[in-house]
């Protein structure tokens, strides 16, 4: 009944002026805090090109090398980077009226020595404790480990620049820097694979170092040109010279803001557990040897293919809106102690985001079952489309839905939690981490690679449940109910169910071993069902449609002005 009343209010002619005024004000704030969406097209174009280059590389590299690079070495790199910087990023981007950028810069520079320590420690572990591949099968493994560790330290050198760019919403810089670095890495990999395939891991090691070097250099060059410019004076930007990015000791001021440092320590303790949940299947594969290097390679390829939407859309949304909620909401304060205008804006944005990602996830589930085998065959040939590949990708579609919901709910939860709440959540993460590792191990022994995905789904469901309970408690006693965004229209659900049935029948009749003409017919059936689904969403989800239209219209007006 509540949702029906809200729906009628948004559609009524009497409330149209109030609605336009409300959305104009809130959309302007939304745009000022989160301009990343305006550059989403650029990000997707670069990622699509990267996707094509990776698909080309797959046809010239063995499954074993893919498993070593994408699982073993990439896990080493991401672990070092995550543990060294994640806590500092979250602490430095939290809203505080008394925030000192000098203290913030000092705190971010601590990521570099911490990254060096982690790189040396984990590098020794990767070389002397874990199973080392046969040199005849995969040469230069030692060089690969130290190259990936060095690349992690290089990336951490740009951390002060990244934090200030993110805090001041230099989203175009982030998109261009990451896209340029990724394109260079993929291009170098493709060229060297064609010219010097005997180099093996050396190819991927060199490409990784180039990636982080270009990424860090992009931020340095941008700020070298930006500081002192009229645009910097207009902002106004808190720093004036490049030397201001370096640590500076002063007898009149403490080196660190200890309140901010203790908040970082709380996030740091949590980082261990979150990293296990994020990369849990890779840790199980790496430390427990439940799959061969070749099987690890196939699983990782399917995992990357299945997470395309998560990387293209959900991850940028999570990163950008964490900043949005952290800026709008006062950390640790109850709803009754927040400014009414700000809490209303946060509630509306949260509800619209939940509605958007839920619908995207449901579309992926409905269409993913019938098109998983075809997608794998196009991407990697029979190496992927045969065997367990299609089953893995179909299960991953369900995981993407849970991943989308969790990303939005957790970014709100972590942005609004007090330090005490963060500390308490560490125990929750500990329980989730232990259960995930145990479940992954036993389900993999039982079901093979599919066990990893099902274990991820189970733990993601637990994380979502915790975030939902926090949000309900947070808004208790207020008129706001942002969790209604998780309830799509019954008409949309019905259309998705019919589309899933039609495309499933089409796969059996037209795909995937019956020639390209019938395959095109299968694709056309899916395209028609998708267009019908999209039309039903536009007509039935009026509140979400109006939110998106208001955003696009306001952005267009801002560009014209």
pLDDT digits (tens, 9 = 90+) for 522-555: 889 999 999 999 999 888 888 888 777 765 444 4
Q: Domain count for the chain, please give it.
A: 1
Show the tokens assigned to 245: 């990015």
The pLDDT mean for the chain works out to 79
Range with lowest mean pLDDT among 21-35, 205-219, 328-342, 364-378? 21-35
pLDDT at 10: 33
Residue 77 has pLDDT above 90, yes or no: yes
Digit-coded pLDDT (tens) for 363-414: 999 998 888 888 888 887 777 777 777 888 889 999 999 999 998 898 888 8
Say if residues 488 and 359 touch (Cβ distance below 8 Å). Answer: yes
Is position 311 within any domain?
no
* Of 188, 190, 202, 211, the residue nearest 65 (C-alpha): 202
Domain hosting residue 185, numbered range: 40-278
In this prediction, what percent of the chain has a pLDDT beyond 70? 85
Residue 348 has pLDDT above 50, yes or no: yes
Is position 270 within any domain?
yes
pLDDT at 1: 34
pLDDT at 115: 93
Is position 260 within any domain?
yes
Residue 54 has pLDDT above 50, yes or no: yes
Most confident of 59-73, 89-103, 490-504: 490-504
Is position 338 within any domain?
no
Is position 384 within any domain?
no
DSSP E strands in 161-219: the ranges are none
pLDDT at 253: 65
Most confident of 26-30, 426-430, 481-485, 493-497: 493-497
pLDDT at 95: 54
Quick one: CA dihedral 294, 300, 303, 304, positive or negative?
Answer: negative
Tell the burial category of 19 from Cβ atoms under 10 Å away from its Cβ (0-12, 13-18, 19+): middle
Burial call 30-48: b when 16+ CB within 10 Å, e when fewer: bbebbbbbbbbeebbebbe
In this prediction, what percent of the chain has a pLDDT beyond 90? 20
pLDDT at 24: 37
Is position 189 within any domain?
yes
Residue 153 has pLDDT above 70, yes or no: yes
Is position 450 within any domain?
no
Mean pLDDT for the stretch of residues 193-208: 89
Q: How far apart are the first and last CA of the chain?
A: 42
* Of 307, 284, 285, 280, the residue nearest 296 (C-alpha): 285
Top-confidence residue, 414 or 102: 414
* Of 466, 524, 71, the residue nearest 280 (C-alpha): 71
pLDDT at 502: 93
Q: What is the DSSP string of 331-376?
A: TT--GGGS-HHHHHHHHHHHHHHHHHHHHHHHHHHHHHHHHHHHHH
Is position 436 within any domain?
no
pLDDT at 246: 82
Digit-coded pLDDT (tens) for 220-257: 998 888 887 777 777 767 777 788 778 777 666 676 77
Q: Does the predicted TM-score (pTM) go above 0.75?
A: no
């Amino acid at each position: 009944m509540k949702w029906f009343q809200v729906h009628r209010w948004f559609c009524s002619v009497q409330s149209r002026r109030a609605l336009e005024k409300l959305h104009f004000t809130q959309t302007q704030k939304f745009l000022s805090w989160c301009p990343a969406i305006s550059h989403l097209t650029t990000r997707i174009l670069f990622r699509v090109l990267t996707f094509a280059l990776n698909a080309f590389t797959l046809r010239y590299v063995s499954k074993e090398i893919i498993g070593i690079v994408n699982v073993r070495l990439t896990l080493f790199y991401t672990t070092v980077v995550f543990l060294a910087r994640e806590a500092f990023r979250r602490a430095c981007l939290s809203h505080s009226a008394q925030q000192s950028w000098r203290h913030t810069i000092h705190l971010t520079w601590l990521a570099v020595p911490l990254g060096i320590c982690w790189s040396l420690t984990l590098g020794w572990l990767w070389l002397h404790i874990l199973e080392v591949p046969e040199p005849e099968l995969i040469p230069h493994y030692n060089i690969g480990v130290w190259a990936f560790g060095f690349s992690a330290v290089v990336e951490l050198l740009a951390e002060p620049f990244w934090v200030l760019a993110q805090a001041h919403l230099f989203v175009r810089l982030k998109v261009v820097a990451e896209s340029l670095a990724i394109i260079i890495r993929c291009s170098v990999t493709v060229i060297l694979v064609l010219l010097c395939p005997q180099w093996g891991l050396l190819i991927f090691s060199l490409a990784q170092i180039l990636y982080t070097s270009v990424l860090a250099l992009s931020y340095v060059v941008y700020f070298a040109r930006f500081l002192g410019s009229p645009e910097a004076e207009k902002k106004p930007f808190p720093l004036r010279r490049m030397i201001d990015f370096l640590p500076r000791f002063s007898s009149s001021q403490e080196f660190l803001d200890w309140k901010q440092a203790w908040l970082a320590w709380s996030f740091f303790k949590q980082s261990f557990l979150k990293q296990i949940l994020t990369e849990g299947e890779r840790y199980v594969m790496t430390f427990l040897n439940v799959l061969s290097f070749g099987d690890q390679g196939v699983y990782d390829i399917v995992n990357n293919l299945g997470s395309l939407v998560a990387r293209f859309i959900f991850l940028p949304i999570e990163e950008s809106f964490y900043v949005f909620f952290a800026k709008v909401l006062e950390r640790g304060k109850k709803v009754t102690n927040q400014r009414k205008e700000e809490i209303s804006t946060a509630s509306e944005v949260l509800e619209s985001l939940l509605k958007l990602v839920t619908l995207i996830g449901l579309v992926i589930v409905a269409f993913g079952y019938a098109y998983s085998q075809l997608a794998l065959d196009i991407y990697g040939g029979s190496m992927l489309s045969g065997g367990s590949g299609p089953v893995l990708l179909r299960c991953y579609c369900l995981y993407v839905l849970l991943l989308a919901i969790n990303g939005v709910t957790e970014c709100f939860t972590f942005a609004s939690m007090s330090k005490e709440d963060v500390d308490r959540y560490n125990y929750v993460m500990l329980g989730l981490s232990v259960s995930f590792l145990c479940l992954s191990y036993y389900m993999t022994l039982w079901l093979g690679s599919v066990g990893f995905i099902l274990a991820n789904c189970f733990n993601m469901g637990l994380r979502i449940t915790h975030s939902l309970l926090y949000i309900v408690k947070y808004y208790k006693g207020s008129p706001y109910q942002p969790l209604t965004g998780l309830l799509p229209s019954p008409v949309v659900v019905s259309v998705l169910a019919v589309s899933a049935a039609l495309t499933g029948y089409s796969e059996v009749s037209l795909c995937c071993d019956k020639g390209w003409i019938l395959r095109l017919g299968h694709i056309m059936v899916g395209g028609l069902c998708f267009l019908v689904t999209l039309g039903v969403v536009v007509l039935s989800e009026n509140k979400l449609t109006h939110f998106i239209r208001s955003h696009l219209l306001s952005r267009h007006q801002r560009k014209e002005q």
